[in-house]
Amino acid sequence: MMLLLRPNCEWCDCDLPPESPDARICSYECTYCVHCVETVLHNVCATCGGGICS
Residues in contact with Zn ion by CB under 5 A are 9, 11-12, 26, 28, 30, 33, 36, 45, 47-48, 50
Q: Which of 30, 34, 24 is nearest to 49 (CA)?
A: 30
Phi-psi region of 30 (alpha: psi -120 to 50; beta: other; left: phi over 0): beta
Alpha-carbon gap, residue 41 to 37, rounded angstroms: 5
* Residue closer to Zn ion (CB basis): 2 or 51: 51
Q: What's the closest the beta carbon of residue 17 comes to Zn ion, in angstroms?
A: 13
Distance in Å, CB of 29 to Zn ion, minimum: 7
**Smallest distance, Zn ion to C-beta of residue 36, A:** 3
